[in-house]
């Protein structure tokens, strides 16, 4: 069975919180609502958009949550078109990915982003060829449902005992456990180490350079 390492995107591969928070405030303002604030927004990064809006605006209707999601997408697209979107790779991520690839690990992404958003990031950073399976919110229920990991394993010819999910939120850890996979949290993202462990993290990496040793040590 192939060994598969599946990465989250926002907060794991790239630091996009500044742009996400700006777009969220703009999206809420377009709907005549007070913005949720950066701390609340960081807490929902990783969820699919409609689920994120429901968490941030719990008194709203389902229709309002869909409108908020569309306004957020418009705001994010406008920031990117204006050259104001900041989505840098975390230091050490590119090197860890290259090392895992060289060691024979197959690589994937499971993210609450859209296909378009994920493609933009991977192409911008020259990482697209490294990944054999890409799972997004366009084709799956929101995390922590295990659908993304289940399809990633099917596409990569992997199985739960040889698959690890690497992410920065409790949603990633809960998803990994629901799919029967190893769960590796990363301390440089948007949920703290206690939240990751509460979600089921088997290990928490302090730096991308820790990931290769952690993955190679898995049974």
Burial of 15 (0-12, 13-18, 19+ CB in 10 A): buried
Q: What is the rounded CA–CA span in Å between residue 3 and residue 17? A: 30
Q: HSE (CB half, 13 Å, CA atoms) of 82?
A: 10
| 161 contacts: CB under 8 Å, gap ≥ 6 | 1, 180, 219
10 noted as active-site residue: yes
**Dihedral of the alpha carbons of 68, 70, 76, 79, in degrees to the nearest 10:** -100
Q: What is the rounded CA–CA span in Å between residue 86 and residue 124? A: 12
Q: Which position among 8, 168, 172, 202 bears the catalytic label?
A: 8
Please answer whether residues 173 and 194 qualify as being in contact, where contact means their C-beta atoms are separated by less than 8 angstroms: no
Tokens for 103? 């060691």
Tokens for 212? 């290769």
Parallel, antiparallel, or unpaired: how do β-strands 2-7 and 133-135 relate? unpaired
Q: Which position among 10, 15, 168, 172 bears the catalytic label?
A: 10
The set of catalytic residues is 8, 10
């Amino acid at each position: 069975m192939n060994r598969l390492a599946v990465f989250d995107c926002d907060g794991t591969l790239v630091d996009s919180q500044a742009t996400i928070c700006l777009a969220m405030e703009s999206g809420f303002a377009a709907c005549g609502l007070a913005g949720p604030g950066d701390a609340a927004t960081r807490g929902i990064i990783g969820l699919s958009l409609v689920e994120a809006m429901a968490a941030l605006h719990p008194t709203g209707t389902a229709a309002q949550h869909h409108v908020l999601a569309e306004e957020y997408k418009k705001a994010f697209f406008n920031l990117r078109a204006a050259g104001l979107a900041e989505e840098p790779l975390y230091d050490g991520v590119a090197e860890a990915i290259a090392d895992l690839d060289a060691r024979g690990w197959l690589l994937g992404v499971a993210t609450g982003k859209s296909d378009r958003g994920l493609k933009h990031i991977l192409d911008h950073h020259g990482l697209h060829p490294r990944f054999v399976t890409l799972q997004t919110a366009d084709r799956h229920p929101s995390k922590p449902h295990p659908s993304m990991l289940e399809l990633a394993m099917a596409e990569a010819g992997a199985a739960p005992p040889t698959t690890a999910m690497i992410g920065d939120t409790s949603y990633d850890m809960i998803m990994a456990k629901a799919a029967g996979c190893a769960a590796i949290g990363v301390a440089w993202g948007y949920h703290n180490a206690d939240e990751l462990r509460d979600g089921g993290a088997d290990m928490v990496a302090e730096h991308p350079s820790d990931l290769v040793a952690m993955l190679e040590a898995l049974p």
